[in-house]
A = this chain, B = another copy of it.
Amino acid sequence: MRSTNPDSNSRRSPNTSPETAEKILSAAVAEFARHGFTKTTVRGIAAAAEVSPGLVIHHFGSKDALRSACDEHVFERIAELKAAKAGYATMAVQMMFDDPEMSTAVDYLVKSLLDPSEHGQRYFDHYVDLVESYITEGFAGYTFRQSEDSRGQAATIAVMALAPSLLEHRLHSVLGTDDTTAMMTRLAPHLLDLYLHGALESVPDNSQPGDEEP
């Protein structure tokens, strides 16, 4: 179903272009992931896909429609990878950052969270739902601390899990690195330690709050 041409001998793919549309969409996802929706230009996508700006509109109708197409594409990609990793005992955080092939998809979703959109909000809602189910039902053998406000707890943990990606660029600068995978690997033990034991080791023994110095 990919090609109906009789002789694909010396001719590659001249006119019939499902390839071109895919190339444009792929370039769009990359550009959106890199610069966000607002700052990404149709001309930039066209240049990255080595086509004219008009062709981008011709294939997808508008910049917003192109974004929707990208949303669906990324969603499918994420769903595939999530299904492929089902049952694999690891934290959701690692699930998102382990696979280098997923990095652009994750970047896209992160930018989608920052640049307000319905798709981005639906993704975040779904993510909080997922975390809440982990809290109530457990995840890969782990048991979560329970709370009366499981929704607020889930939202808190979801936000925490997304934080490193949100500030990825700032982290690169402050840690003096440019390898995202290596950086996330470096942060992973600290995240695990935080999730397992918290960040604080001992609490002050003064009972009433004030400007006291121990």
Contact = CB atoms under 8 A, between A and B. Distances in A.
Copies of this protein in the complex: 2
A116 interface: yes
Interface stretch (A1-9, A10-18, A45-53, A161-169): A161-169
Given A170-B113, A195-B199, A209 B90 contact: yes
Interface stretch (A64-72, A98-106, A146-154): A146-154
A185 to B, nearest CB: 10
Interface string A116-145: 100011001100100000000000111111
A79 interface: no
A interface majority secondary structure: helix
A212 interface: yes
A16 B43 CA distance: 45
Contacts of A141: 203-206, 212, 214
A67 to B, nearest CB: 16
A134 to B, nearest CB: 10
Nearest to A175: B155
Nearest to A146: B201
Interface string A167-192: 10111011100000000001101110
Contact of A174 (B124, B146, B196, B201): B124
A197 B164 CA distance: 21
6 contacts: A141-B214, A146-B201, A155-B171, A155-B174, A155-B187, A156-B190
Given A89-B209, A152-B190, A163-B163, 11 more contacts: A38-B39, A88-B209, A90-B209, A121-B173, A143-B201, A144-B200, A147-B193, A153-B190, A155-B187, A160-B160, A195-B199
Interface of A: 38-39, 86-90, 113-114, 116, 120-121, 124-125, 128, 140-147, 149, 151-153, 155-157, 159-160, 162-164, 166-167, 169-171, 173-175, 186-187, 189-191, 193-206, 209-214
